[in-house]
Amino acid sequence: MSFDPFGDFETRGYLRNVFGEKDPNIIKHLEHSSFVAGLPEAFKYLGSIRQLSYDDVLQTHKILFGDIYPWAGQDRMQSASEIAVSKGTVLFAHPKDAKAAVEYGLKLASDGMVMSARPGEVMGYLAFGHPFLDGNGRTIMVVHAELAERAGFSVEWTGTSKAAYLNALTQEIGRPGAGHLDAYLKPFLRRPVGIENLVEHVVNTRGLDGSAGEENRVLGKVSDAELQARYAAQRLQRQKPEERERSDRGGRER
């Protein structure tokens, strides 16, 4: 694994894991074991919260990965606020914007009708926020499954194609609310699985063992001029049409 945001892989292992382990195969096994073992507690915790908040997402990550990483439950603003993180072609939210992105997704999902109509848009905001250095996909999957259950449906993830899903997610992140991921997920929406079956529902989702897919990358420091320009362009691109029109109108008036 080449992802080394702390710059101390050789002395402290991958992401300062409590074992000091460097072997990627061992790390993946440890992560997956911690994730599976923590699922019952995670769903029990989420089920006890009336309306989910950003802090609940942080707590879910801590439950799932606290046995592996000492920083589990801390977002990137706390653990690595100076670096820009990407995966493939996706530049995730600036560390200071991660909370706002996740909170907006949670706000949408708090209305059951919105969540059932736009589950892909909700997932897109949660994924774009990418609050953690590792374990984002699994944490978000757990939170999304809870939100879907509350809204009266489930996603048959076992029927999806990982490549097609990630392609739709990438488009969703680039243009939130344009319907890319909602359209992809629509054929896989099903009746709710029942709270007692959420653990099994998530465990059976393919691709959550970390055995495939691109790694996170450190692009550089967020203070770099080039990255600041990329973040600015990204914020503009992600604006909704009405927000873009207001910005343009404000610029013309000035």
In a domain, 40, yes or no: yes
39 within a domain of the structure (yes/no): yes
Query: pLDDT tens-digit profile of 40-88?
Result: 999 999 999 999 999 999 999 999 999 999 999 999 999 999 999 999 9
pLDDT above 60 (res 241): no
For residue 245, being part of any structural domain is answered with: no
Range of the domain at 32: 9-234
2 in a domain, yes or no? no
CA distance 9 to 113: 45
Least confident of 177-186, 195-204, 235-244: 235-244
pLDDT at residue 253, rounded to an integer = 54
Overall number of domains in the chain: 1
Q: Is residue 246 in a domain?
A: no
CATH number of the domain within which 51 lies:
1.10.3290.10
Instruction: Determine contact, residues 99/75, Cβ cutoff 8 Å.
Output: yes
Query: How many helices and strands (H and E) does the chain possess?
Result: 13, 5
Is residue 246 scored above 50 in pLDDT?
Answer: no
Contact 66, 18 (CB under 8 A): no
**How do residues 134-167 score in pLDDT, each as one tens digit?**
999 999 999 999 999 999 999 999 999 989 999 9
